[in-house]
Amino acid sequence: MATKKPKVSYFCMEYGLESDFNIYSGGLGILAGDHLKTAKDQGESIIGLGILWKQGYHKQEIGKDGRPRNAYPIYEYDFLKETGIKVKVKIRQRDVYCKVWKVDCFNNVDLYLLDTDLPENGGGDSWITGQLYGWFGEERIAQEMVLGIGGVKALRKLDIETDVYHFNEGHAVFAGIELIREKMEEEGMSYEEAVEATQEEIVFTTHTPIKQGNEEHPHHRLRYMGANQNLTTEQMVALGGAPFNMTVAALKLARNANGVAQLHKETAREMWKHVDKAAPQIEGITNGVHRPTWVDERMVNAFKDGSTEKVWNSHQDVKRDLIDYVEEQNGVTLDEDKLLIGFARRAAPYKRSNLIFTKPEVIDKYLEDGKIQIIFSGKAHPLDDTGKEIVERLVEMTEEYPESVVFIEDYDMTTGKMLTRGCDVWLNNPRRPKEASGTSGMKAAMNGVLNVSILDGWWPEACRHGENGWAIGTEPKTAQDFTGTYDERVEKLDEYDLKNLYDVLLDEVLPTYYEQQDKWVKMMTESHDDTYEKFSAKRMLEHYYELMYAPAE
């Protein structure tokens, strides 16, 4: 029996389609972009809904004083097509008009973007779609109302049929409230009937294993904004608790939910086990990456060819491109014959960008003689002073080791691409278990850039220690495995991970790189072979159809 594939409408705050199309901030957006690109490649019917950000995510440059500073240019794009459609969302009792654009580039991915920057919205409301993650409180809620409520209304006006509404992260949850409202007001259902029918249509992907990352809003504010539509506070509390937690509400409104790696599935199940009447089981669908975007063609061909020389020479070509890029950006000339480590992450304390510098008495001599070279990149959130300090410390390190440590400002997709194909090693050392998945390591692995990583996120699913990359600590621990106050536990975990990092780097990575080039190339090949299919967005999409989009039995 031929079954028809469900039609999916995919909601996300951000999309990373191309470097200069500044409507993304990081991993979530890159994933969403890769999801849509892959759907297009495979001829699947997935429509994306998002926001046309006027200023996008902040640009971050390093001032002469070594501090990150932010800039907010206004963007205009010439590849957006008018749909002729506008929808109205009532926010703070005012009608806010949202113009609907169709993105007309990147092989014509099916993406529609909402935009409030219109004269009829007046000064205030025209800025709702101003900055991605720039604001909190009322402004964030207004943005989420545009995405969720405006998104559903746009689908109706565009006459796009939808079987499954996929919320990629909790930001989209007001779309669920809109679906309930439609059924009550337009189809005459009771609240209970409407909730039940809506649950049949929604699937939800959670991405945030850190409690504070799961957004909450007080009910009085949701009422003031009009985000509850006509639902009562009791009904809203029943969905999202008090305060209203976007993830909890999404879990309750969804028929299926998933985390983004197998380890993250376990973490998410534990984290949300108290949520009554949530989607039955949180599934695990490990992220994947869009290979044509992220894997260098020269490496794909080299691995097909399979000879040691071809793989090594192609890698050196790609590495030289990166070295040229760094020279253009920073004026520093790195050495193509010395080990080059890449580390690019949002500047957040748990990612521990500085970990490798902790003990100068151990690491100093390798950085002094350039046996280890490191390129860093990553932005701090504009309102996050701790994150900015992390960037400042990294910039200080570039002054300490001007020939072997580099910081590339304003991390974006171009820098991400250059680094994940041109380095020798991709380093990742977050505190476990806080990385939901991570996709930069997958990009690296497919390009033959060897991962040296804590066994967190996706890496436990791929790592064969010493064969296709390395684990930092083959017996990984979390702060819970130590004793003392919370701070003491974290300190002990950091010490444990640091020792393991130095051990693997100095005793295994360096000798292999400098003394056993054949083995290194063998590992590059294994790295590519183990990941090219398994962590492709194509495989990921198949799992979404199987576990999430397929109609319930």
Ligand X SMILES: *Cc1c(COP(=O)(O)O)cnc(C)c1O
Residues that bind ligand X (CB under 6 A): 26-27, 30, 345, 411-413, 416, 438-441, 443
> What residues pair up with 408 in beta bridges, in sequence order?
377
DSSP code string of 31-93: HHHHHHHHHHHHT--EEEEEE--SSBSPEEEE-TTS-EEEE-PPP--SSEEEEEEEEEEEETT
Contact 350, 317 (CB under 8 A): no
Distances (CA, A) of 374 to 137, 214, 260, 332: 38, 33, 29, 12
Query: For residue 288, how many C-alpha atoms fall within 13 Å in the half-sphere facing its CB?
Result: 25
CB of 415 to ligand X, least distance (A): 7
**Which residue is nearest to ligand X, using beta carbons?**
416
CB of residue 209 to ligand X, shortest distance in Å: 12
CA–CA distance, 550 with 540 (Å, rounded to integer): 14
Residue 48, phi then psi, degrees to nearest 5: -95, 145
Least CB distance to ligand X at residue 495 (A) = 24
Nearer to ligand X, 89 or 348 (CB): 348
Of 522 and 534, nearer to ligand X (C-beta) is 534
For ligand X, the closer CB: 68 or 438? 438
Of 68 and 416, nearer to ligand X (C-beta) is 416
Please give the Cα distance from 165 to 176 (Å, whole number). Answer: 9
Q: CB of residue 459 vs ligand X: minimum separation in angstroms?
A: 10
Q: Residue 89 to residues 170, 231, 232: CA-CA distances in angstroms?
A: 19, 16, 19
**Least distance from C-beta 117 to ligand X, angstroms?**
25
- Report the nearest approach of ligand X to the CB of residue 447 (Å): 12
Q: How is residue 394 written in tokens?
A: 């990294």
Closer to ligand X by Cβ: residue 27 or 382: 27
- 150/430 with CB nearer ligand X: 430
**Omega before 243 within 30 of 0, i.e. cis:** yes
Question: 54 vs 379, which CB is nearer to ligand X?
Answer: 379
How far apart are the C-alpha atoms of 115 and 123, rounded to whole Å?
Answer: 14
- Closest to ligand X by CB, 178 vs 456, is 456
For residue 329, the 8-state DSSP code is H
Query: Nearest approach, Cβ of 344 to ligand X (angstroms)?
Result: 7
d(CA 288, CA 80): 27
Cβ of residue 133: shortest distance to ligand X, in angstroms? 13
